[in-house]
């Protein structure tokens, strides 16, 4: 039976619906399937420094490192990356020469043993090395070099024909460096030809083997010697038997070029901290803690540097926990301390870890990021606005220091580090397949002008114009600025296998006293005691103990703020001038209160400015700091008022002290004094002439013969030393006018 048109339409609708479902479901299914795939696990890196020349102690140290790394991270599909950094000691000018062949062979055998199956081994050569250390380098699965570092002249110490078989065998085990090239490095008089073949690509053969190679493979014309340039305009090897990192990379012996440790971490796809040696992997862990809290200034930087050196040099520390809670304060001293952290390496392998429970703002971030690792609370602040606004000279100096590839920040992208202090630095995150880098605007523009540079698939500006770059703990881990987030110090200890609390390198008693005196509590106490002593002095005859105590308290208050970097001559001058104005109002020029009010404002301003590093707040931290300063001053004022009221009632009755304190009249004495004052009649002065001893504005004092009397002008302002005449007397109220002023 034929289908009706309506049935045709129904079938068509069902077919379209089915096709739509399939079209939607298939991509979703594919995406879901892709999402369900387990994410590739992050590679784990472990680094050991191989100091040259290689000795028996060197091989034992490396063996201990390998054993501990394998026990901590069992081999799993090349997830574990063992990095062997071949290091030439600073005072060794012979490129690490002197490695004994036997010890180098023992190390090469270890690196190619079955024990390391399933582990990816990397030789990192940041400096030029020569001698038999080359044998251990080519025993690794991968070689990473600095561009200008050189590798070769393996037989410069004791070349012998008997060693050729060993070099060939080790080269064939890893095939990182072809056997003929390895022999050429052992004996620079040998010749090696670079031959390009159609079947097997580039080959390295001795001249005598070229004819045999041509029988088996199709050789492209014009083989060249290994010492000849790769390109007509290119440069040859440094000398026979020696290759630069750049030349080795072009030949395919080196997989990556890394000038900085952060470049090495990116090339191997491991966290930045993993390319630094962990002392706990090669010896006993000796952990010490150095606290870095408060404003960054000369005293704090010098003290922290001194304590770190003491812990490492005198106490044998190889793990330094730098506890940082600082709003910054000085680019100069932060750079000084960051370099001090880096220079701990001169004492041997020292692992430095910055623990940030609350904040390391602005330039304090430079110190934290100079450490091997950073561990933060998830809501802690790294970078961003801090205690001080920096000059352009400070920022230029900071940028130059941070961009130095040999500086303390070699593990981190320098633009991110610098942007935490410099609000004018623009930073972009640039991504393409398997690679993420952070470039400043200048670097990005230069990269885009390079016609041979590969384009970035994604470029995102991560800084905000005119704002310092700031991250919390979670974001710091995402940007690879921090290694991990920790909830508290107990979790920090577990993360770094610290069984007990690190021994705290405590400052001396003088440093401890200074720390306490610079706290807000101590400042408030100093102000309360100082003003109380001044109050007591004003109610005591002569100049005595109160003045001395007040002077000491205010001197200590301002000295501690000068030492802390928050006060200078401006604040001290304002305070002294303010106190003088108040005293003038009380003792010299009683009048409308201009001096008293102005002096009080100057004193208050000086106290607030002395508690902070800025005049006007410009960011959230500075507003919070201003609030704390005002609360400290307000608390001190409230304490002073309460104590003054108590002292007014207690001190005149206290034994001994009451002899120095003028007790106010009370009871019958006060009534009698009031009656006598009300009966005072200065009518005998009417019409007499005298001289003002103070300015009359309109009240003041005048002298009539031997009598000093409080007077008031008839309305005019009368200067000091003016001859006056009494025109009215009402009891104790004496009205005067200047002589010659008319009626």
Residue 664 lies inside a defined structural domain of this protein: no
Residue 256 CA to residue 81 CA, distance in Å, equals 15
Tell me: do 483 and 354 sit in the same domain. Answer: yes
Tokens 């800084």 sit on residue: 463
pLDDT at position 108, please? Answer: 94
Tokens 């009080």 sit on residue: 600
Residue 644 lies inside a defined structural domain of this protein: yes
pLDDT at position 468, please? Answer: 93
Name which of 156-170, 407-421, 484-498 the model is least confident about: 156-170
Q: For residue 618, list its beta bridge partners.
A: none
pLDDT at position 378, please? Answer: 93
- Residue 598 clears pLDDT 90, i.e. is over it: no
- Residue 16 clears pLDDT 70, i.e. is over it: no
Tell me: do 350 and 394 sit in the same domain. Answer: yes
Tell me: do 221 and 336 sit in the same domain. Answer: no
Tell me: do 182 and 140 sit in the same domain. Answer: yes
pLDDT at position 8, please? Answer: 44
Residue 236 lies inside a defined structural domain of this protein: yes
Token digits for 165?
Answer: 């078989």
Tell me: do 100 and 200 sit in the same domain. Answer: no
pLDDT at position 77, please? Answer: 55
Q: For residue 322, list its beta bridge partners.
A: 290, 354
CA distances from 315 to 21, 200, 311, 531, 688 (A): 72, 58, 5, 46, 87
- Residue 671 clears pLDDT 50, i.e. is over it: yes
Count how many domains the chain has.
Answer: 5
Name which of 175-189, 227-241, 479-493 the model is least confident about: 227-241
Q: Which domain holds residue 698?
A: 677-738
Residue 340 lies inside a defined structural domain of this protein: yes
For the segment 275-285, the average pLDDT, to the nearest whole number, is 83
Residue ending a domain, among 272, 303, 331, is: 272
At a CB cut-off of 8 Å and minimum separation 6, what does 716 contact? Answer: 698, 737, 738, 741
At a CB cut-off of 8 Å and minimum separation 6, what does 300 contact? Answer: 292, 294, 326, 333
Q: For residue 737, list its beta bridge partners.
A: 725
pLDDT, one tens digit per residue, over 602-642 is 888 888 887 776 677 766 777 777 777 788 888 888 887 88
Tell me: do 149 and 65 sit in the same domain. Answer: yes
Residue 141 lies inside a defined structural domain of this protein: yes
Q: Contact, 356 vs 368, CB < 8 A?
A: yes
Residue 627 CA to residue 623 CA, distance in Å, equals 6
Tell me: do 381 and 261 sit in the same domain. Answer: no
pLDDT at position 678, please? Answer: 55
* Three-state SS at 430: strand
pLDDT at position 146, please? Answer: 93
- Residue 26 clears pLDDT 80, i.e. is over it: no
Tell me: do 524 and 633 sit in the same domain. Answer: yes
Closest-CA residue to 611 (of 543, 667, 557, 661)? 557
pLDDT, one tens digit per residue, over 464-492 is 998 999 999 999 999 989 989 999 999 99
Residue ending a domain, among 619, 653, 687, is: 653
Residue 319 lies inside a defined structural domain of this protein: yes
Tell me: do 645 and 541 sit in the same domain. Answer: yes
Residue 523 lies inside a defined structural domain of this protein: yes
Which one is predicted more confidently, 275 or 283? 275
pLDDT at position 424, please? Answer: 92
DSSP state of 682: -
Which one is predicted more confidently, 421 or 576? 421
The pLDDT > 70 percentage for the chain reads 82
CA-based angle 162:165:169, to the nearest 5? Answer: 150
Tell me: do 123 and 184 sit in the same domain. Answer: yes
Residue 371, domain CATH:
3.90.226.10
Tell me: do 259 and 405 sit in the same domain. Answer: no
The pLDDT > 90 percentage for the chain reads 29
pLDDT category of residue 324 using cuts at 50, 70 and 90: very high
Tell me: do 642 and 690 sit in the same domain. Answer: no
CA-based angle 286:291:296, to the nearest 5? Answer: 140
Residue 290 has φ and ψ, to the nearest 5°, of -120, 125
For the segment 711-740, the average pLDDT, to the nearest whole number, is 84
- Residue 652 clears pLDDT 60, i.e. is over it: no
Residue 34 lies inside a defined structural domain of this protein: no
Name which of 100-104, 176-180, 516-520 the model is least confident about: 516-520
pLDDT at position 626, please? Answer: 78
Name which of 381-385, 541-545, 660-664, 723-727 the model is least confident about: 660-664
């Amino acid at each position: 039976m034929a289908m009706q048109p309506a049935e045709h339409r129904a079938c068509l609708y069902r077919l379209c619906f089915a096709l739509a479902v399939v079209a939607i479901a298939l991509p979703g299914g594919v995406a879901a399937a892709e999402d369900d795939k387990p994410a590739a696990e992050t590679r784990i890196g472990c680094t050991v420094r191989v100091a040259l020349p290689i000795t028996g102690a060197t091989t034992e140290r490396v063996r201990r490192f390998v054993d501990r790394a394998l026990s901590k991270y069992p081999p799993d599909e090349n997830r574990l990356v063992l990095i062997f950094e071949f290091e030439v000691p600073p005072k060794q000018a012979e490129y690490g020469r002197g490695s004994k062949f036997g010890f180098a062979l023992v190390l090469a055998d270890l690196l190619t043993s079955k024990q390391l199956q399933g582990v990816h081994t990397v030789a990192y050569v940041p400096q030029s090395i020569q001698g038999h250390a080359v044998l251990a380098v080519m025993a690794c699965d991968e070689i990473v070099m600095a561009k200008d570092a050189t590798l070769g002249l393996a037989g410069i110490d004791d070349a012998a024909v008997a060693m050729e078989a060993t070099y060939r065998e080790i080269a064939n085990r890893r095939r990182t460096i072809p056997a003929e090239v390895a022999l050429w490095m052992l004996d620079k008089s040998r010749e090696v030809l670079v031959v390009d073949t159609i079947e097997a690509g580039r080959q390295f053969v001795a001249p005598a083997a070229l004819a045999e190679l041509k029988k088996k493979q199709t050789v492209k014309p014009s083989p060249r010697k290994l010492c000849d340039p790769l390109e007509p305009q290119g440069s040859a090897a440094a000398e026979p038997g020696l290759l630069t990192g750049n030349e080795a990379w072009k030949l395919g012996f080196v997989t990556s070029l890394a000038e900085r440790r952060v470049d090495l971490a990116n090339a191997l796809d491991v966290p930045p901290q993993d390319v630094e040696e962990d002392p706990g992997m090669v010896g006993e862990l000796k952990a010490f803690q150095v606290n870095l809290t408060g404003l960054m200034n000369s005293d704090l930087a010098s003290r922290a540097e001194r304590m770190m050196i003491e812990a490492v040099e005198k106490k044998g520390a190889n793990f330094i926990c730098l506890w940082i809670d600082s709003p910054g304060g000085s680019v100069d001293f932060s750079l000084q301390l960051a370099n001090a952290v880096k220079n701990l390496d001169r004492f041997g392998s020292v692992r430095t870890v910055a623990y940030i429970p609350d904040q390391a703002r602005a330039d304090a971030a430079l110190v934290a990021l100079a450490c091997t690792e950073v561990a933060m609370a998830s809501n802690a602040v790294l970078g961003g606005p801090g205690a001080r606004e920096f000059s352009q000279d400070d920022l230029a100096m900071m940028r130059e220091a941070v961009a130095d590839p040999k500086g303390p920040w070699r593990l981190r992208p320098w633009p991110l580090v610098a942007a935490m202090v410099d609000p004018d630095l623009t930073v972009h995150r640039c991504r393409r397949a398997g690679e993420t880098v952070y470039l400043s605007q200048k670097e990005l523009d230069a990269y885009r002008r390079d016609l041979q540079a590969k384009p970035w698939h994604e470029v995102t500006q991560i800084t905000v114009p005119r704002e310092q770059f700031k991250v919390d703990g979670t974001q710091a881990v995402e940007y690879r600025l921090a290694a991990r987030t920790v909830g508290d110090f107990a979790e920090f200890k577990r993360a770094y296998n610290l069984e007990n609390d690190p021994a705290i390198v405590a400052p001396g008693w003088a440093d401890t006293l200074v720390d306490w005196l610079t706290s807000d509590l101590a400042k408030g106490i100093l102000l309360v005691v100082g003003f109380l002593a001044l109050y007591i002095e004003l109610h005591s005859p002569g100049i005595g103990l109160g003045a001395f105590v007040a002077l000491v308290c205010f001197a200590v208050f301002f000295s501690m703020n000068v030492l802390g970097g928050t006060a200078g001559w401006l604040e001290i001058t304002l305070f002294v001038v303010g106190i003088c104005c108040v005293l003038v109002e009380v003792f010299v020029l009683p009048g409308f209160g201009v001096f008293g009010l102005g002096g009080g404002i100057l004193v208050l301003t000086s106290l607030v400015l002395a508690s902070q590093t800025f005049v006007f707040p410009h960011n959230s931290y500075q507003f919070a700091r201003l609030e704390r300063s005002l609360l400290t001053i307000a608390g001190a004022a409230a304490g002073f008022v309460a104590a003054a009221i108590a002292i007014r009632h207690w001190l005149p009755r206290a034994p001994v002290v009451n002899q120095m304190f003028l007790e106010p009249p009370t009871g019958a004495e006060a009534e009698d004094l009031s009656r006598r004052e009300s009966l005072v009649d200065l009518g005998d002065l009417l019409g007499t002439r005298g001289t003002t001893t103070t300015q009359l504005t309109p009240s003041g004092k005048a002298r009539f013969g031997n009598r000093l009397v409080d007077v008031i002008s008839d309305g005019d302002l009368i200067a000091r030393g003016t001859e006056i005449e009494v025109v009215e007397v009402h009891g104790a109220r004496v009205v005067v006018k200047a002589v010659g002023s008319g009626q």
